[in-house]
């Protein structure tokens, strides 16, 4: 089994190092190969997704990804910006199904900005379509405004679109995920305004016929945003498009108090996947040794479960993470009075130690 390790920028390298430590501490050894990506890819090879990095990602059984983006690359033309690396990997590898769980660990109930009774026991799964929608729709660009009150001025535009097959395949992933959980699926759309998402609703409703054991409801995205803070526990699995999923998954992650805790998986049709923390590259704290590595370590666990068929090893890592939280160890992002503040590498070491116990 070969794992491509793509640390990226900002805190990426330091958090990925901790996940690598954990992988190396398992009984079974995996072949790990690293390559630069994002700003690091640009610095090394003049492109955020260098050819060698893409080739490695394609050849590997799974990809562990840190994060990309740094202030110093913000002025590059769009095609060379670090974000293009992750978008390019998703598109080139067909990673259309993004799984973003938001789980509140009981030890961290106080870290949420919401009242404990609203979030305690929270366990929801957001499934975000990842290779379609306004993110990739063509045409897009800046042109001369063809009509209306602003005719003749410059205008920016993008295209929102979903093909039937794209909606069907993500709907299947979502219904199947719901079947393995509480059998409730909420499809989030904007069918009251957007053609694309009326179509989305119609197709999801049609796919539902194949999953009569799952309860499906539809919700407009604005209402979903509200319900996510009002009564988040009413949800089990949510499925939505790329753009809405980007926003709602950040929102859902914060219900748990720390985005530093949440892993994610981006899967293709054969469950090959890219695994990354739900948070970004946090360049402001990079290199300081304070970043929370748990989201990346938990992403490695998801990788073992979904792409490498090693559910038992995945469970061992997840239990080790629970154990260090029980011991009271906290990186600054989840620190509360009465707990023990630790750095990135100490946290990684603690998980390795807990694995052995």
Site for ligand IPM contains 32 (CB under 6 A) = no
| Residue 99 Cα distances to 106, 178, 354, angstroms | 22, 12, 26
Among 136, 246, 327, 345, which residue interacts with Mg ion (rule: CB under 5 A)? Answer: 246
Determine if 83 is a binding residue for ligand IPM (CB under 6 A): yes
d(CA 254, CA 248): 10
Q: Is 288 annotated as a binding residue?
A: yes
Nearest alpha-carbon partner for 204 in 226, 178, 235, 243: 178
Length, in residues, of the chain:
357
Binding of Mg ion by 61 (CB under 5 A):
no
98 marked among binding-site residues: no
Tell me: does residue 155 bind Mg ion (CB under 5 A): no
Q: Which of 80, 87, 229, 285 binds ligand IPM (CB under 6 A)?
A: 87
How many Cβ atoms from other residues are within 10 Å of residue 59's Cβ? 10
How many Cβ atoms from other residues are within 10 Å of residue 198's Cβ?
A: 14
Counting contacts by CB under 5 A, is residue 83 touching Mg ion?
Answer: no
Active site residues: 135, 190, 222, 246, 250
**143-169 b/e (C-beta count within 10 Å ≥ 16 → b):** eeeeeeeeeeeeeeeeebebeeebbeb
Which stretch in 65-73, 120-128, 204-212, 239-247 sits in contact with Mg ion by CB under 5 A? 239-247
What is the dihedral sign for C-alpha 342, 346, 352, 356?
negative
- Candidate segments 83-91, 164-172, 196-204, 297-305, binder of ligand IPM by CB under 6 A: 83-91
- Neighbour count for residue 176 (Cβ, 10 Å): 15
Residue given tokens 């992933």 in the structure block: 173
182 interacts with ligand IPM by CB under 6 A: no
| Of 10-18, 72-80, 82-90, 315-323: span binding ligand IPM (CB under 6 A) | 82-90
Q: Which residue is nearest to ligand IPM (CB)?
A: 83
From the list Mg ion, ligand IPM, none, pick the one residue 86 interacts with, judged by a Cβ distance below 5 to 8 Å according to partner type: ligand IPM
Size of the site for ligand IPM (CB under 6 A): 4
Give me the residue label for tokens 């805190």.
Answer: 11
Establish if 268 lies at the interface with Mg ion (CB under 5 A): no
Min dist CB 204 to Mg ion, Å, is 22
Q: By the criterion CB under 6 A, which residues form the site for ligand IPM?
A: 83, 86-87, 246
């Amino acid at each position: 089994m070969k794992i491509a390790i793509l640390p990226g920028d900002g805190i990426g390298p330091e958090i990925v190092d901790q996940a690598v430590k954990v992988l190396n501490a398992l009984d079974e050894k995996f072949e790990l190969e690293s390559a630069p990506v994002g700003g690091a890819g640009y610095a090394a090879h003049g492109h955020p997704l260098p050819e060698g990095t893409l080739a490695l990602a394609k050849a590997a059984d799974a990809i562990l990804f840190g994060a990309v983006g740094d202030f110093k690359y913000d002025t590059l033309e769009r095609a060379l910006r670090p974000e293009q690396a992750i978008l390019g990997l998703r598109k080139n590898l067909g990673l259309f199904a993004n799984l973003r769980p938001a789980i509140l660990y009981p030890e961290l109930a106080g870290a949420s900005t919401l009242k404990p009774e609203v979030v305690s026991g929270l366990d929801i799964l957001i499934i975000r379509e990842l290779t379609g929608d306004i993110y990739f729709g063509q045409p897009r660009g800046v042109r001369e405004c063809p009509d209306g009150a602003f005719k003749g001025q410059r205008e920016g535009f993008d295209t929102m679109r979903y093909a039937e097959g794209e909606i069907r395949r993500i709907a299947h992933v979502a219904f199947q995920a719901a079947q393995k959980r509480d059998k409730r699926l909420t499809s989030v759309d904007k069918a009251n305004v957007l053609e694309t998402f009326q179509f989305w609703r119609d197709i999801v409703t049609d796919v539902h016929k194949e999953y009569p054991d799952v309860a499906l409801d539809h919700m407009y995205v604005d209402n979903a945003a509200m319900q996510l803070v009002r009564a988040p526990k009413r949800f089990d699995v949510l499925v939505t498009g790329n753009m809405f999923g980007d926003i709602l998954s950040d929102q859902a992650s914060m219900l748990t108090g720390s985005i530093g805790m949440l892993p994610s998986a981006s899967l293709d049709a054969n469950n090959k996947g890219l695994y990354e923390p739900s948070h970004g590259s946090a360049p402001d704290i990079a290199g300081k040794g304070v970043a929370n590595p748990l989201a990346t370590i938990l992403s490695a666990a998801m990788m073992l479960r979904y792409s490498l068929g090693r559910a038992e090893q995945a469970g061992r890592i997840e239990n080790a993470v629970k154990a260090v939280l029980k011991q009271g160890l906290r990186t600054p992002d989840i620190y509360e009075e009465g707990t023990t503040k630790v750095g990135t590498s100490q946290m990684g070491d603690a998980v390795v130690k807990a694995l052995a116990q």
